[in-house]
Chains A and B, each alone.
Chain A
Amino acid sequence: MSAAYEDASRSGIGNRLQRLLPKLVLSPTFLAAVFFLYGFIVWTIWLSLTRSTLLPSNTWAGLAQYRYLFDNGIWWTSLINLGIFGVLYIGLSMAIGLFLAILLDQRIRGEAIFRVVYLYPMALSLIVTGVAWKWMLNPGLGVQQLVRDLGFTHFSFNWLINPQMAIYTLVIAAVWQSSGFVMALFLAGLRGVDDAVIKAAMIDGASLPRIYWSVVIPSLRPTFFSALILLTGLAIKSFDLIMAMTGGGPGFATYLPANFMYDFAFQRGQIAMGAASAVMMLIAVGLLVGPFILLESRRKSDV
Chain B
Amino acid sequence: MRHFRIKHLAGAVALSCAFVAGNVMAEPTVSVLNWWTSGSESKAMGVLQEMLGKEGIKMVNDAVAGGGGANARTILKSRIVSGNVPGAAQIKGVSIQQWGRTGLLGNVNAVAESQHWNKLLDPVFLKLLKYNGNYVAVPFDNHRVNWMWMNPELMKKAGVAHMPTTWDELVSALKKFKAAGITPIAGGGNTWQVATEFGPVVLATGGPKFYDDAFVKLDTKALNSPTMIKAFKRLRVLQKYTDPNGVGRSWNHDTAMVANGQAAMQFMGDWAEGTLMVMHKTPGKDVLCAPFPGTNGSFIYNVDTMVFFKQGNAEARKAQDAMAKTVMSEKFQILFNKVKGSIPARLHTPMSSFNSCAQTSAKDFAQASKNHALVPSMSQNMSTYNATTGAIFDVLGQFYNSNMSAQTAADQLAKQVAVAKSQL
Interface residues of A, Cβ cutoff 8 Å to B: 25, 28, 53-56, 68, 71, 73-74, 134, 138-141, 158, 160-161, 163, 166, 245-247, 249-253, 262-264, 266-270, 273
Complexed CA–CA distance, A250 and B5 (Å): 49
**How many whole Å from A130's CB to the nearest CB in chain B?**
9
Nearest B residue to A142 via CB reads B245
Main secondary structure of the interface of A (DSSP, over half): loop
Complexed CA–CA distance, A266 and B70 (Å): 6
Contact with A along B68-103 (1 / 0, CB 8 A): 101101100100110000000000000100110010
Binds A, one of B133-141, B272-280, B396-404: B396-404
Complexed CA–CA distance, A160 and B245 (Å): 9
Complexed CA–CA distance, A132 and B212 (Å): 42
**How many whole Å from A273's CB to the nearest CB in chain B?**
7
Which of A25, A246, A253, A269 touches B387 (beta carbons < 8 Å)?
Answer: A269
Q: What are 22 inter-chain pairs, A to B, with CB distance below 8 A? A: A54-B98, A55-B102, A139-B245, A140-B245, A161-B245, A161-B246, A161-B247, A246-B247, A251-B397, A251-B398, A251-B400, A252-B394, A263-B390, A264-B390, A266-B71, A267-B67, A267-B73, A267-B390, A268-B386, A268-B389, A269-B387, A270-B424
Counting contact residues on chain B (CB < 8 A from A), the size range is: 35 or more
**How many whole Å from B218's CB to the nearest CB in chain A?**
15
**How many whole Å from B205's CB to the nearest CB in chain A?**
22
Q: Which residues of B contact A134 (CB under 8 A)?
A: 248
Complexed CA–CA distance, A251 and B419 (Å): 19
Q: Which residues of A contact B68 (CB under 8 A)?
A: 267
Q: B245 touching A138 by the CB < 8 A rule?
A: yes
Which of B71, B248, B424 touches A138 (beta carbons < 8 Å)?
Answer: B248
- Is B243 located at the chain interface by the 8 A CB criterion? yes
Complexed CA–CA distance, A53 and B99 (Å): 11
Q: Which residues of B contact A269 (CB under 8 A)?
A: 95, 98, 385-387
Complexed CA–CA distance, A54 and B189 (Å): 28
Q: B401 touching A250 by the CB < 8 A rule?
A: yes
Complexed CA–CA distance, A158 and B247 (Å): 11
Question: Known: A249-B189, A267-B70, A268-B387. Is A68-B244 also a contact (CB below 8 A)?
Answer: no
Q: Which residues of B contact A264 (CB under 8 A)?
A: 390
Q: A249 touching B247 by the CB < 8 A rule?
A: yes
- Is B2 located at the chain interface by the 8 A CB criterion? yes
Q: B248 touching A245 by the CB < 8 A rule?
A: yes
Q: A56 touching B401 by the CB < 8 A rule?
A: no
Q: B191 touching A249 by the CB < 8 A rule?
A: yes
Contact with A along B362-398 (1 / 0, CB 8 A): 0000000000000000000000011101100010011
Complexed CA–CA distance, A60 and B190 (Å): 36
